[in-house]
Amino acid sequence: MSRTLSSWKQSLGGVLAASLLVAGCESPTVVPTADGRQNIHSARIEGNLVVQSRSRGNAVVFIYDASRPPPPQGTGRPIAFTVVPAEQLFGPALGTDAPGPFTAPFALSLVAAGKYTLRGFIDVDSCRTGVVPCHFSDFNPWYGVTSEPNAGDVGGAAVDPTNGVPLTLEVTKDAEGNPLPLTNVTVSFSQATAQVPVDRPAFQVTVLNGDHTLPPGSPTKLLRLTPQSIEGGAVEQRSKAFLVSYVDANRDGVPDDANGDGAADLWPRVVVRKLADAPGLLEDNDLDRNGILDEGGTDYPHADGTRDGKPDLVVLAAGLSTDALFAALTDENGAPRMTPVPVTELVVGVQAAALDASDPTKPPARLETLPRGRYSVVLIQSTGQTWRVPNELAPAFAAGLGLTGVESQAFVLEVP
């Protein structure tokens, strides 16, 4: 993004330019700085948004490393994002309900060579007051509790127009190794096919057997998750139910059984992940919050006593109690219902067994011991929306962030 230089820099630049002209010198040789941080070449990805929607709002576009896709395909976090204002996107039609299509340019700068995917959404809440320009929004990228779309928002992505599958975009290098700009990229948004049906799956946790600790060798801990509406300040979540559905990744209309255990796979998915040992909300081995395991992070011994020399992503063995869910997903003829069904309660079983899930291409590897510490509970819905406890609404953190504290959002599962 271009930025205006301060006046003193402009004056200094003018003096230097005038001096060179008076002296009649040739242009000075430009050489790379010795500071590696200032000698990084980058490119950009740019193109156009194409929106078909009667709803209005600012457009938010995220860029992800293609090897770390976002939910529901993976657990990747965005590298960066850009916002295209609703006024620019919809123009004179902002105050109408015309369906479009509407177009506007976008650009993501400082992009290194590599492979990426683009996702985004129309933040409908940003225009819900009917006031122009559209400023109000429940989207704020800096907090986990405000960084995802909610009901009514319109999803979008850079996709293959023939099948709707997200594209992998590659920023290549020139002969000197510098990344080349990637242009003419289209990010499509469609209210008809990609409108978000529900708010994020905000929840509270009730322990059904015992307390919030899980000592080594203890029986399976049962956690009941129930929707929780949170309305106050910057956070507005009106969660009333969880969306339960069969996984059908290949879209053949038949429930998937990816692990071959004879039981159909279900949404939502639950992850119980180790937090960093230091107080706070950071995850173990990801202290810079970039979604990439820290180089030099802890390498826990595996069940066979070996270490792979890489930092581990530690999770506890956990899953949904499925009997009631399968019943809800079966019609009167005993056939599977392939459309999502709302349920008002989920029961999660957490075993006293730890796994290394750092390699998404392989089944998680069991660890030798149960690492001590605090563990978060993360729910991933088929819509790609997620919720995690603990989060920034925990009273210990909320006040310092300008948020309203909610006691239930401080829950952790602890291995003593």
**pLDDT tens for residues 245-282?**
999 988 888 898 888 888 889 999 999 999 999 889 99
CA dihedral 238, 242, 245, 249 (to 10 degrees): 60
User: What pLDDT, in 10s, does the model give residues 295-311?
Assistant: 989 999 999 988 989 99
- Which of 31-45, 82-96, 281-295, 318-332 comes out lowest in average pLDDT? 31-45
Question: Is the pTM here over 0.75, yes or no?
Answer: yes
- Which of 159-163, 189-193, 392-396 comes out lowest in average pLDDT? 159-163
User: What pLDDT, in 10s, does the model give residues 215-228?
Assistant: 999 999 999 999 99
Query: How crowded is residue 202: how many other Cβ atoms within 10 Å of its Cβ?
Result: 25
Angle at 196 between CA 192 and CA 202, to 5 degrees: 170
User: What pLDDT, in 10s, does the model give residues 97-156?
Assistant: 899 899 999 999 999 999 999 999 999 876 665 555 666 567 888 889 999 999 899 999
The stretch 201-208 carries a mean pLDDT of: 96
- Domains recognised in the chain with CATH numbers: 40-194 (2.60.40), 203-415 (no CATH)
